[in-house]
Amino acid sequence: MNQQSLSAFLWSVADLLRGDYRQSDYGKVILPFTVLRRIDCVLSPSKEAVLEELKLRKAQGLPVEQFLRRKAGQSFFNASPFDLKKLIGDQDNIAANLRAYILGFSPEVRDIFDKFEFDTQIDRLAKAGLLYQVVEKFTQIDMHPDRVTNHQMGLVFEELIRRFAELSNETAGEHFTPREVIRLMVNLIFVEDDAALSKPGVVRTIYDPTAGTGGMLSVAEEYLVNMNPGASVSLYGQELNPESYAICKADMLIKGQDVGNITFGNTLSDDGHMGEQFDYMLSNPPFGVEWKKVEKAVRAEHDQKGHGGRFGPGLPRVSDGSLLFLMHLLSKMRPAKQGGSRFGIVLNGSPLFTGGAGSGESEIRRYVLESDLVEAIVALPTDMFYNTGIATYVWILTNRKPAARKGKVQLIDGSGFWQKMRKSLGSKRREMGEGDIETITKLFGAFTEAELARIIDDSGKEIGTEVVMPGQTPPVAPEGGKVKLAPLSRILPNAAFGYSSITVERPLKDEDGNVVLGQRGKAKGKPQPDSSLRDTENVPLAEDIDAYFAREVLPHAADAWIDPDKTKVGYEIPFNRHFYVFEPPRPLAEIDADLAGFTARIQEMLKGLTA
């Protein structure tokens, strides 16, 4: 069964609900029943054996859980005599029997249905006379992993959540990340380790603190297992949204993962993996979302634990908590001497430059750059996410940089690598193709500067692009056309992003134009600053401050001086500035000729009106 036909079938359940349920509530029924049918099908082949084992072990007076798990061939089981097909054999008692069936599951599965608030839906469906019809509908489809792969199942859940989110005006992007963005991130965190990951007996852990429905964890696991079928991969995550958590946990359960590794709650205020560290990590935290609800807990950890906690480098403004997740991931890195870690995180543009020297954001950037943790930042195309069209960036951080990367950051402008979707999905109008992902992955893996050649024909239309690596000859334009070169990959020293923010003072003068001098203490006899003339200058770290001041300030204000007590070091990453290409204006004669032509046409039109 393909993903489209399964999605269509599941969506058809909405026809039963129409009238008794609002459209925005369809997901409260369809999502948990989809999970239930999936688990029902997984356990079906071993159902009778499990019931026989239950009878035997009870007669022996033994604890039954481990025996039943072994018989089920899974990390979960159901000890009830019911399954969904048996439930429809007793229409009059469908609600009571369905509850008994749910209670027959092992605790980790019951937790999933608790998070769905499934009991509430059983009541509501029973009162509306719909419960039997819905259960009967779901028995018509086989969702065993032999028929529907885990990958297909993940895509189906994402499709359902997206459609339900659209109906209820919620943001689907809070629940999952587009698969091609995940594939790119997974490629980037693994590409330098391909040789090590291919060795027999490899054991790795992967963590996502904003797990959603588990898409990032699933794609990362698929990558490793496809590369090395013998690899042992343990997945860890935490999720705040109850429905997303339930789906993620169900997905991990069926894959044979330890679902105790998937925790529920707010990662920032209640770390579900306290003290744990991981080999690889991925995260797409919410963009531009305030953290006021958890401010008390976060500030307490920052103030009381400092660098011994998660938020030692600094705190961003309360209106955007993205950088809190970045620091959380830093705290989960294994020490370099134990193999280190690498992680990818998707952020909007704000963390690159928001906040001046001394601000929380600048101090966090300062920490990761001076600690040499930033490996690369990749600009993604706009209109890539379901809930926003803004510019986004993938940051890759590691504490085990290869020798060639030490002290440097690679910036890659991937904003032009996209293709238009046939149909928009919310704010998502563009997608990255396999070729686009491969190009960016190669640029990162090669760790080299590169340019993008845009080939323009004689009409001014772009007819193609080509990546130009160092030493490579750019393509030749067709007759009458031209080739425009723009930076695509840039490699810069960490210090290139730092600056000293100096405070420039000018003397205060009295009504007669005389400089006002201090009368007491350290200020006695010294010119007093005029706060209305005070200014700041940002001096690149690579430059000598005095030389900069003499060149840039003194020629314009000979009486100015620097207040050294107010000098601060700041960091920002002005991504676009490093990829800016100056476009010279057209020749004046050409512009004059165009204006003359427009004027002549307007005069002709006016003559026609007055004729």
Q: Over the stretch 121-149, which tens digit does the pLDDT of each residue have?
A: 999 999 999 999 999 999 999 999 999 98
Output the pLDDT for position 182.
94
Report how far apart, in Å, the C-alpha atoms of 87 and of each of 95, 104, 106, 138 are.
Answer: 9, 13, 19, 11
32 C-beta neighbours (distance < 10 Å), count: 23
For CA atoms 252, 258, 261, 262, the dihedral sign is positive
Task: Tell me the mean pLDDT in the region 58-66.
Answer: 92
How many angstroms separate the CA atoms of 599 and 595, rounded?
Answer: 6
Nearest alpha carbon to residue 74 among 273, 255, 196:
255
Tell which phi-psi region holds residue 290, choosing left (phi > 0), alpha (psi between -120 and 50) or beta. Answer: beta
Report how far apart, in Å, the C-alpha atoms of 53 and of each of 50, 63, 80, 384, 451 are.
Answer: 5, 11, 12, 51, 66
Task: Tell me the mean pLDDT in the region 418-443.
Answer: 91
Nearest alpha carbon to residue 287 among 346, 236, 233, 222:
346
Q: How far is CA 595 from the centre of its chain?
A: 48
Helix (H, G, I), strand (E, B) or coil at 490: strand
Helix (H) or strand (E) holding 466: strand 462-468
Global pTM value? 0.90
The pLDDT-based confidence of 588 (bands split at 50, 70, 90) is confident
How many angstroms separate the CA atoms of 557 and 97, rounded?
Answer: 86
For CA atoms 412, 416, 419, 425, the dihedral sign is positive
How many angstroms separate the CA atoms of 515 and 527, rounded?
Answer: 6
Least confident of 377-381, 440-444, 597-601: 597-601
The pLDDT-based confidence of 173 (bands split at 50, 70, 90) is low
Nearest alpha carbon to residue 278 among 208, 207, 214:
207
By DSSP bridging, strand 280-283 and strand 203-208 are: parallel
How many angstroms separate the CA atoms of 53 and 56, rounded?
Answer: 5
How many angstroms separate the CA atoms of 450 and 600, rounded?
Answer: 46
Mention every residue, 6+ apart, whose C-beta is less than 8 A from residue 168. Answer: 23, 24, 25, 27
DSSP character at residue 497: G
For residue 435, give both structure tokens: 């070729």
For residue 516, give both structure tokens: 């006002």
Task: Tell me the mean pLDDT in the region 167-195.
Answer: 82
DSSP character at residue 478: P
Angle at 331 between CA 326 and CA 332, to 5 degrees: 95
Q: Provide the percentage of residues in the chain whose pLDDT is more than 90.
A: 78
**Whether pLDDT at 187 is above 90:** yes
Site of tokens 């054996």: 49
Q: What is the pLDDT of residues 505-538, one digit of tens each?
A: 999 999 999 999 999 888 899 999 999 999 999 9
Q: How many CA atoms lie within 13 A of 342 on its CB side?
A: 18
Helix (H, G, I), strand (E, B) or coil at 580: coil
**Whether pLDDT at 590 is above 90:** no
For residue 424, give both structure tokens: 């928009």
The pLDDT-based confidence of 312 (bands split at 50, 70, 90) is very high
For residue 172, give both structure tokens: 């689907």
Task: Tell me the mean pLDDT in the region 203-231.
Answer: 94
Helix (H, G, I), strand (E, B) or coil at 438: helix
Phi, psi of 27 (to 5 degrees): -60, -25
DSSP letters along 5-47, please? HHHHHHHHTHHHHBTTB-GGGHHHHHHHHHHHHHHHHHHGGGH
DSSP letters along 48-105, please? HHHHHHHHHHHHTT---HHHHHHHHTSS--B-SS--HHHHTT-GGGHHHHHHHHHHTB
The pLDDT-based confidence of 4 (bands split at 50, 70, 90) is confident
Q: Provide the percentage of residues in the chain whose pLDDT is more than 70.
A: 98
**Whether pLDDT at 24 is above 90:** no
Helix (H, G, I), strand (E, B) or coil at 482: strand
Across the beta sheet with 203-208, the strand order is 262-264, 232-239, 203-208, 280-283, 342-348, 392-398, 374-379, 408-413, 482-493, 450-456, 462-468
Nearest alpha carbon to residue 537 among 514, 493, 506:
506
Residue 417 contacts residue 383 (beta carbons within 8 Å): no
Output the pLDDT for position 287.
85
**Whether pLDDT at 603 is above 90:** no
* More reliable by pLDDT, 454 or 584: 454
Residue 80 contacts residue 121 (beta carbons within 8 Å): no
169 C-beta neighbours (distance < 10 Å), count: 7
For residue 198, give both structure tokens: 């291919």
User: How close are the terminal C-alpha atoms of the chain, in Å?
Assistant: 72
Q: How far is CA 233 from the centre of its chain?
A: 21
Q: What is the pLDDT of residues 462-496, one digit of tens each?
A: 888 999 999 899 999 888 889 999 999 999 999 99
For CA atoms 528, 534, 538, 543, the dihedral sign is negative
Q: Give me the residues paired with residue 18 across strands.
A: 21
